[in-house]
Amino acid sequence: MDDKPAVTPRARQERQLDEALKETFPASDSVAIGHIDGEAKTPTPDQARQKLARRHLRALIERHNHS
């Protein structure tokens, strides 16, 4: 018997979003790499655009899945 957990719709959606973002923002992009340090920073305009893009893509996927 297979012990793999079932893939939930949410996990599938997150994977689709990750793949779409990788195509949109390549790993060589400093925003995609996400320089991490101990201080909280104000999001850059690129990060704000990425967040908005994720939100729009998630809404499109939801609409597609419910149609």
Per domain, the residue ranges of the chain are: 8-21+44-67
> Measured between alpha carbons, how far is 17 from 57 in angstroms, rounded to an integer?
7
Query: Residue 8 is encoded by which pair of tokens?
Result: 């939930």
Q: pLDDT tens digits, residue range 25-46?
A: 666 555 545 555 556 677 788 8
- Of the pLDDT bands very low, low, confident and very high (cuts 50, 70, 90), residue 47 is confident
Q: pLDDT tens digits, residue range 1-28?
A: 456 667 788 888 888 888 887 777 666 5
Residue in the structure block whose two tokens are 């996990």: 11
Neighbours of 58 (CB within 10 A): 15
In terms of DSSP H, where are the helices of 3-44? 9-24, 30-33
Q: What is the predicted pLDDT for the residue at 26? A: 64
Which contacts (CB < 8 Å, 24+ apart) does range 4-13 have?
A: 9/65, 13/58, 13/61, 13/62, 13/65
Q: What is the predicted pLDDT for the residue at 56? A: 92
